[in-house]
Chain A
């Protein structure tokens, strides 16, 4: 199995609080991604990274920020959580543009 770990796996937080999700990899892969999965919407890209300190927005980036200060870690931050951000969040890693992406086990976030 690819070395990718998401933390925490489950979190319940209150509206308006900041939340940070962590994705850690041991594969030294260049690309890292954050997606959210919601019923009826499939998998939607939030942000992705193509190198240390190189990130770009996906289709649903509003309300989210990311940071990648070293190859192995990609952090997703909800600056002020809202109920609409209740979702399952997946991190993925990939070595090249036409190679397989490996997914983490997901983080279930509930904003109350």
Chain B
């Protein structure tokens, strides 16, 4: 079945450092890919998405490119801030109907990011 694997954390960085959080996936067909963020005590919220190969999603300085050849969707930010401290989740959703995966949304295990001043 479909699955998402994220780099193990936690990740600790100093302010203004470069961030990469790796995400790879296993899926049939051509899934849509997402990054969600969860701030302490809150539910998840969408950070960015990409719906087809070579698409780049971006938001709030974060970027991720849908790489079909490497089945990856790595999250990057050039200069992190203390306010970026949160848990980041990679997720996928199949975009073709069929079988039991119709509308299914699968998440990775999450990566805790802590940014120090």
* Chain A residues in the interface with B (C-beta under 8 A): 30-31, 33, 35, 40-45, 48, 50, 56-59, 90, 92, 94, 97-98, 100-101, 103-106
Closest partner residue, chain B, to A104 (CB atom)? B43
Residues of A within 8 A of B85 (CB): none
**Cβ–Cβ contact A57 & B100, under 8 A:** yes
> Does B49 contact A43, Cβ atoms closer than 8 Å?
no
Chain B residues with CB below 8 A from A35, complex form: 107
Q: How many Å lie between the Cα of A112 and that of B95 in the bound state?
A: 41
A48:B110 contact, CB within 8 angstroms: no
User: What is the number of residues of chain B that contact chain A, defined by CB distance less than 8 Å?
Assistant: 27
Residues of B within 8 A of A90 (CB): 43-44
Given A90-B44, A101-B44, A103-B44, 9 extra CB contacts under 8 A: A33-B105, A42-B109, A48-B103, A48-B104, A59-B106, A92-B44, A98-B93, A98-B95, A100-B46
Contact between A101 and B46, CB atoms less than 8 A apart: yes
B2–chain A nearest beta-carbon distance, Å:
10
Residue contact B43 to A42, C-beta cutoff 8 Å: no
A40:B109 contact, CB within 8 angstroms: yes
| B42 interfacial by beta-carbon distance below 8 Å | yes
Q: Is the interface of A mostly helix, strand, loop or mixed?
A: strand
A40 to B44 Cα, complex, angstroms: 16
CB of A94 within 8 A of CB of B103, answer yes
Q: How far is the CA of A100 from the CA of B33 in the complex (A)?
A: 10
A90 to B43, CA, bound (A): 7
A45 to B1, CA, bound (A): 13
Given contacts A42-B108, A97-B32, contact A31 B103 (CB under 8 A): yes
Whether A103 contacts B43 by the Cβ 8 Å rule is: yes
Which residues of the partner chain B approach A100 to less than 8 Å between Cβ atoms? Answer: 34, 46, 49
**In the assembled complex, B45 has its CB within 8 A of some CB on chain A:** yes
Contact A48 B105 (CB under 8 A): yes
Q: Which residues of B contact A42 (CB under 8 A)?
A: 6, 89, 107-110
A44 to B3 Cα, complex, angstroms: 11
Q: Given A50-B103, A97-B94, A97-B95, does the pair A43, B44 have CB atoms closer than 8 Å?
A: yes
Please, how many angstroms separate the alpha-carbon atoms of A35 and B89 in the complex?
13
Residues of B within 8 A of A48 (CB): 103-105
